[in-house]
Structure 1
């Protein structure tokens, strides 16, 4: 999903890469990534109390929208992380390449022990869409913090759906349905998504071990591990009837 950001929030400022280097403490390897993968960085929109008439919250005073014009089809997340480190506000990225756009964002919050520091989680991304795809209205929210959650939640849920076969075709799966049935914090949803991601990787590692193992008795033991891991992944993804192959 792409959003039709409010006109009053339009900023449209091109950000020189050296400004990101300066504020992110970029080393030569990171600079090489920017040169190789990033064509242009545009500070696209500034979602703030004065531009969208929503009250700031303690953790979300403003949300900045950055558009990244990519030179290559993929973008190393270290690039996004460097920009996030350089900008002291939560960010939502629009990544653009070859006539397509997708959203990306990591949950970003002030440190509970040091309010001057930011804690940055893993990145979540939408699917690629045509740059001409219709844009949806920005989510309705009562304040900036609630808006931030509503912008990130679909990205978090989509990642879980991509990782577990069947979830994308079964929006009633409890991971998604629970969000509609009862209030679940964004941090809880992210923890669920990250647990699914970690367990999915574990399943793949166990499957690789089975493929390499030649001894029958060891394969039997590893298969038992695989069954247990699949059951745990099924539980994390909300039960359902889909099999994790």
Structure 2
């Protein structure tokens, strides 16, 4: 589900939550093109390298089908575990239902124009904590970034299995990207919201990607349910419109139009 309504400004994550070794930047660093200023790296993106996760490691844990493995090979260049957002690294309170949020950078191959959600769901079903994805499209003529996160929860039947309900993905934004160091430069970013615990952080991260803003006093769960209902209604609306365009009988067209108008009223009521 792609956010096409609200402008998206990516988050910058704190250095204390970064993983990996410190990167030594070249002395001729520039803030545009292939390199990033040292000051920009510290303020906009951690100068730590993150921890690379080999695709083979994912294959061993997820046991993907041949088709899913083929998608990984075709689309994914690198997977980097970049940040661990936790009570310790952010100096906030713990939560029983949200222990950590991992930030994964997925560096996509230049020919990849749109990530297949099976890549994200394979990672989400393998890793039990929540994951905030940053997707980097590395075609040198139009380097872009998207952010994505799932409505994800533990399976009620098994604490060791995750259920992924839906994905919420930001629009693509233009970035500068250091292909050698895998460091992006974002012209506009925002700090993480001030929250008291991990549940609050998870809510704000996910809500930043939702195309329908929350209604007054609406909980995150209510908002997600409303968005899921809207998605179904919009799909039904598209099917009925297609049926109307193909229908030749006048009486049947009248019935379909009545159904379509009822769905449109429901969509309007739920859109707030």
| Shorter-normalised TM range | 0.7 to 0.9
Written as runs of structure 1 = structure 2, the 5 A alignment for 1:11-26 is: 11=19, 12-26=50-64
Cα offset, 1:143, TM superposition:
0.6
- SS of match in other structure, 1:20: helix
- How many residue pairs match? The answer is 218
User: Using the alignment, how far apart are the partners of 1:187 and 1:177 within structure 2?
Assistant: 10
Gaps of 5+ in 2: 1-8, 20-49, 176-185
Q: Deviations over 1:16-55 (max 9, x none)?
A: 0011111112111110000011111111111112211122
User: Using the alignment, how far apart are the partners of 1:232 and 1:46 within structure 2?
Assistant: 41
Q: Is the 8 A contact 2:98 2:198 kept in 1?
A: yes
- Give 1:231's aligned residue: 265
Q: 1:48 to 1:177 in 2, by over 3 A?
A: closer
Q: Deviations over 1:48-93 (max 9, x none)?
A: 1221112221111110000111220101101000011121110000
User: Using the alignment, how far apart are the partners of 2:208 and 2:149 within structure 1?
Assistant: 11
Q: Is the 8 A contact 1:203 1:229 kept in 2?
A: yes
* Equivalent in 80, 90, 96 of residue 136 of structure 2: 96
Cα offset, 1:136, TM superposition:
0.3
User: Using the alignment, how far apart are the partners of 2:254 and 2:155 within structure 1?
Assistant: 46
- Give 2:79's aligned residue: 41
User: Using the alignment, how far apart are the partners of 1:152 and 1:34 within structure 2?
Assistant: 25
RMSD over aligned Cα, in angstroms? 1.4
User: Using the alignment, how far apart are the partners of 2:236 and 2:152 within structure 1?
Assistant: 26
* Equivalent in 129, 154, 160 of residue 116 of structure 1: 160
Q: Structure 1 residue 125 and structure 2 residue 201: aligned?
A: no
Q: Deviations over 1:87-120 (max 9, x none)?
A: 1110000011041111100022223454333222
- SS of match in other structure, 1:92: strand
Q: Deviations over 1:124-182 (max 9, x none)?
A: 011111223321001111011110001101212x2x4xxxxxxxxxxxxxxx362xx32
Structure with higher helix content: 1
- SS of match in other structure, 1:127: coil
* Equivalent in 73, 90, 102 of residue 64 of structure 1: 102
Q: Is the 8 A contact 1:23 1:85 kept in 2?
A: no
User: Using the alignment, how far apart are the partners of 2:87 and 2:76 within structure 1?
Assistant: 30
Gaps of 5+ in 1: 161-175, 239-245
User: Using the alignment, how far apart are the partners of 2:170 and 2:208 within structure 1?
Assistant: 8
Cα offset, 1:13, TM superposition:
0.7
- SS of match in other structure, 2:208: helix
- SS of match in other structure, 2:64: coil
Deviation larger for 196-205 or 46-55: 46-55
* Equivalent in 86, 98, 103 of residue 126 of structure 2: 86
